[in-house]
Amino acid sequence: RVVAVIMVGGPTKGTRFRPLSLNIPKPLFPLAGQPMVHHPISACKKIPNLAQIYLIGFYEEREFAIYVSSISNELRIPVRYLKEDKPHGSAGGLYNFRDLLMEDSPSHIFLLNCDVCCSFPLPEMLEAHRRYGGMGTILVSKVSAETASEFGELVADPETNELLHYTEKPETFVSDRINCGVYVFTPDIFNAIQGVSTQRKDRANLRRVSSFEALQPVNRSLPTDFVRLDQDILTPLAGKKQLYTYETMDFWEQIKTPGMSLKCSGLYLAQYSSTSPHLLASGDGSKTATISGDVYIHPSAKVHPTAKIGPNVSISANARIGAGARLISCIILDDVEIKENAVVIHAIVGWKSSIGRWSRVQGVGDYNTKLGITILGESVAVEDEVVVINSIVLPNKTLNVSVQEEILL
């Protein structure tokens, strides 16, 4: 049997995701009409002999309760949220719940970061992992040399795929192969994490009784039960024939900012055309709007037949899109109203916001820069004929004059 764990983190980690994380935990923010965490969860469904899926995080339990029970019913597989009392780090969080995770006596444990967007080739990883015969296999992707330093960089043996060298976010270039934040382990991973924790305790004790402290100042502030998977486990175990790599040639992105969530929403929409075409709006028939490219429209949303939508648009529950409106590359959240002839391009429009007649809400479409898309927080009102370009508007604002390159608090 196999169990899967998705690390969802907690509220302190989501600050780069503001203002969208003011309303909703980042893992529940919708990409292609489904919560971010839905995409790895539904990928887990393809793992043979999967017994359970656990989400581990330090958000309040109630924020995940409804989602977890509805997704369990939908996929007919138990999904549970396990709340840490404080952050333990990516490996420490796993270790904290080892007894529970081992209840099903799994032979393998998948570990997935929730803020990555990819095709999650999990069955293929498991097969490769069994062939390699190590303790863990890491999903790897090739990125441009300029961006590699934002991730864990690694070197693998081209013949055996063994992980030979691992450095987390290095200052000088090591490799354009990076850690995708998706792993499969045998239960031996728990011994490895315990080893790090014990070593920390020993050092702490030693410090107390000697002047050893002066020699070992680096890890002083880390609590003994805080263990990071990358620095504390992958780096020391590289080159010891315990860790292996599996390279994906498919898309892979990390979702730390609203701009990247818009990009990833588009990647998941594109994936729907092969995995779940029924979720894509077809635009057939005279009563529906003109649809171009990949578009998701929630069944409760009302879209006027003269509106033109797409590509990369996802429209959430109860949104109303008026006559002649034009939407390109955007996420429209619940209960938004877009009035006649308004234009929304490269933007995220927050819950209950409204955009007036002939208004434009627009970004340049650079997903990597802070003001590369326009973001309206919850309940923002853009009045008629107002233009909002490359700006971030915090919740509950009314805009009656046009703005450009501004952050409106």
Active site residues: 169
Between the CA of residue 296 and those of 21, 312, 372, what are the distances in Å?
22, 8, 23
Closest CB to ligand GDD among residues 179, 312? 179
Out of 179, 271, 316, 390, the only residue in the binding site for ligand GDD (CB under 6 A) is 179
Q: Which stretch binds ligand GDD (CB under 6 A): 33-41, 109-117, 266-274, 320-328?
A: 109-117
Does residue 44 touch ligand GDD according to CB under 6 A? no
Cα–Cα distance for residue pair 139/248, rounded to 1 Å: 7
Please report how close the Cβ of residue 390 comes to ligand GDD at its closest, in angstroms: 26
Out of 19, 30, 106, 152, the only residue in the binding site for ligand GDD (CB under 6 A) is 152
Between the CA of residue 26 and those of 59, 77, 256, 298, 361, what are the distances in Å?
10, 23, 9, 20, 23
Closest CB to ligand GDD among residues 178, 325? 178
Q: Which stretch binds ligand GDD (CB under 6 A): 30-38, 52-60, 357-365, 366-374?
A: 52-60
Closest CB to ligand GDD among residues 233, 315? 233
Cα–Cα distance for residue pair 218/121, rounded to 1 Å: 37
Please report how close the Cβ of residue 57 comes to ligand GDD at its closest, in angstroms: 4
Sheet harboring 354-355: ordered strands across?
Answer: 302-303, 320-321, 337-338, 354-355, 381-382, 398-399
Q: Are 28 and 6 in contact (CB under 8 A)?
A: no
Closest CB to ligand GDD among residues 1, 86? 86
Please report how close the Cβ of residue 56 comes to ligand GDD at its closest, in angstroms: 4
Cα–Cα distance for residue pair 131/216, rounded to 1 Å: 40
| Strands (E) located in 47-162 | 50-57, 79-83, 108-113, 116-118, 136-142, 152-156
Cα–Cα distance for residue pair 388/363, rounded to 1 Å: 8
State how beta strands 30-31 and 34-35 pair: antiparallel
Out of 2, 178, 262, 303, the only residue in the binding site for ligand GDD (CB under 6 A) is 178
Q: Are 312 and 294 in contact (CB under 8 A)?
A: yes
Closest CB to ligand GDD among residues 87, 324? 87
Cα–Cα distance for residue pair 259/251, rounded to 1 Å: 17
Under rule CB under 6 A, how many of the chain's residues touch ligand GDD? 26
Does residue 81 touch ligand GDD according to CB under 6 A? no
Does residue 13 touch ligand GDD according to CB under 6 A? yes
Between the CA of residue 69 and those of 13, 62, 85, what are the distances in Å?
24, 11, 21
Out of 230, 334, 335, 378, the only residue in the binding site for ligand GDD (CB under 6 A) is 230
| Element (DSSP H or E) covering residue 275 | helix 258-275
Q: Which stretch binds ligand GDD (CB under 6 A): 46-54, 55-63, 189-197, 213-221?
A: 55-63
Q: Which stretch binds ligand GDD (CB under 6 A): 108-116, 119-127, 305-313, 331-339?
A: 108-116
Does residue 378 touch ligand GDD according to CB under 6 A? no
**188-209 and 89-96 helices cross at what angle (nearest 10)?**
110
Closest CB to ligand GDD among residues 57, 350? 57
| Element (DSSP H or E) covering residue 331 | strand 326-332
Q: Which stretch binds ligand GDD (CB under 6 A): 128-136, 176-184, 186-194, 361-369?
A: 176-184
Footprint on this chain of ligand GDD (rule: CB under 6 A): 7-9, 13, 56-58, 84, 87-90, 93, 113-116, 151-152, 168, 178-181, 230, 254
